[in-house]
Homo-oligomer: A and B are copies of this chain.
Amino acid sequence: MTGLPQRFLPPVLIGLLVWFVPPPDEVQLQAWRLLAIFLATIAGILAKTLPLGAMALLGVIASMLTGVLKPDEALAGFGYPVVWLIVSAFFISRGFLATGLGLRIAYLFMAAVGKKSLGLAYSMIGVDLVLAPAIPSNTARCGGVICPILQSVAVSFGSRPDGASARRLGAFLIKASYQGGVVVSGMFLTSMAGNPMAAGLAAGMGIEIDWTTWFLAALVPGLLCLMTGPWILYRIYPPEITETAGAARMARRKLEEMGPLKPSERIMLGTFVLLLILWVFGGSLGISSAVAALTGLAILLLTGTLRWKDILGERGAWDALIWFGVLINLASHLNSMGLIPWFGDQLAAVLGEGHWMKSFVLLSLLYFYSHYLFAGNTTHISSMYAPFLAVAIAVGTPPLLAALVLGYFSNLFSGMTHYGTGPAPVFFGTGYVEMGDWWKLGGLLSVVNILIYFVAGGLWWKVLGIW
């Protein structure tokens, strides 16, 4: 229990401070107190007082004990369909990894386009892109499937971490895949746990973003970023080895060892295809994305592809249930109690006159680069997405445009640091890329990505009629 007292200071101090400061005239006392609890929770998460889920749980318990929320209001988040969308996706992704289908797809890509080191980087991004819709844990996807493959490829070419040989091949592959993963996470509603949270927060403000809307709008800028990122890195941070025919051969050998698709892999593949169909077309059948995900889970359970004990042991899913269920619910209450719209109006007044575009660009850059201060996407989203969206709307930004851009930026911003998202410590921890390079390259690519999203994305969204 050493160190507990200090770690407890930030949430306690911030909570008490806000609680006892008298609220502005326009804000109800209950809303202000909920804000105190919410900010204390976020402070505890940032200060790592306790793990994310534990802090979230303490926050919601505090809201009940203080009478700020009634128990059924406080716990309602655990029954939100959007929360179960992400929980089921965690379960489904376990099937992806456990059946070996994820690995097989990775080797297929490698065998096809892995003959050059640039192709190898693109192949890993391709794998990521294919797995992403059904694996919302980018840590499981990038850290569990892609990173281990890259490491073994690099070593097989004599490129080892922490030395002169790191730059031979490994450093380029690791950095390119990591940056690709950051973009891929933003491309589907279901490719990062925080995306449905952003969509849920937007829904609380009357902006509906379904699976297809999210994906369609991300398609053009996302693919552009995925194409340019590795190419830029290949120019400015090149590997010494450019021919990697051995990697493609290794992939083909691994595929031969695997043999034909196992029955469990077939079921997994079929479920995945069905899931994609339901996510894209389910709306017209009245099947929401959450019900689609739960249906996929049902198929895996019925066919024995996943056993109940696998489900019960999937800690990541239960963790997501708690932090997601709490944070989105607290944020929703802050919104419905009028606090977030009020904040939006205040800040909009400060931003003053002028075209919304200027203010929105400013806001989204602030949202983006404040991520230097955050470890992980979800804390950032849960604390800043809703208020920034409220301000953006208050200054006149088309609501859906604002919700989507902030949603995409909620992924892109994690490319800058070695702690910006779950897989960051995994990739950085391989030791291939020095910290200075990691930050410099990440910073550079953040500018490229932002430009692509604003310019090419802006045009594309105009075509789609989003603004």
Q: Which residues of A contact B (CB under 8 A)?
A: 1, 4, 8, 50-51, 53-54, 57-58, 61-62, 64-65, 67, 71-72, 75-81, 84, 286-288, 290-291, 294-295, 297-298, 301-304, 308-309, 311-313, 315, 318-319, 325
Do A51 and B308 touch (CB < 8 A)? yes
Chain B residues near A54 (CB-CB < 8 A): 301, 308, 311
Do B312 and A318 touch (CB < 8 A)? yes
Do A295 and B61 touch (CB < 8 A)? yes
Contact A298-B58, Cβ < 8 Å, known A290-B71, A304-B4, A308-B53: yes
> Of B72, B303, B312, which contacts A79 at CB under 8 A?
B72
Chain B residues near A298 (CB-CB < 8 A): 57-58, 61-62
Q: Report how far A72 CA is from B200 CA in the complex, Å.
A: 13
Max chain B C-beta neighbours (<10 A), residue from A291, A309, A319: A291
Chain B residues near A301 (CB-CB < 8 A): 50, 54, 57-58
A-B contact pairs, 6 of them (CB 8 A): A1-B303, A50-B308, A65-B295, A71-B84, A75-B84, A78-B78
A interface, over-half SS: helix
Do B79 and A286 touch (CB < 8 A)? no
Chain B residues near A302 (CB-CB < 8 A): 8, 50, 58
Do B61 and A297 touch (CB < 8 A)? yes
User: How far in angstroms is the closest Cβ of chain B from A467?
Assistant: 30
Q: Report how far A54 CA is from B50 CA in the complex, Å.
A: 31
Chain B residues near A79 (CB-CB < 8 A): 72, 75-80, 325
Chain B residues near A290 (CB-CB < 8 A): 71, 75
User: How far in angstroms is the closest Cβ of chain B from A9?
Assistant: 13
> Of B61, B287, B315, which contacts A291 at CB under 8 A?
B61
Do A64 and B315 touch (CB < 8 A)? no
Q: Report how far A411 CA is from B57 CA in the complex, Å.
A: 31
Chain B residues near A84 (CB-CB < 8 A): 71, 75, 78
Do B80 and A72 touch (CB < 8 A)? yes
> Of B81, B308, B315, which contacts A313 at CB under 8 A?
B315
Do A291 and B71 touch (CB < 8 A)? yes
Max chain B C-beta neighbours (<10 A), residue from A77, A291, A312, A313: A312
Do B78 and A291 touch (CB < 8 A)? no
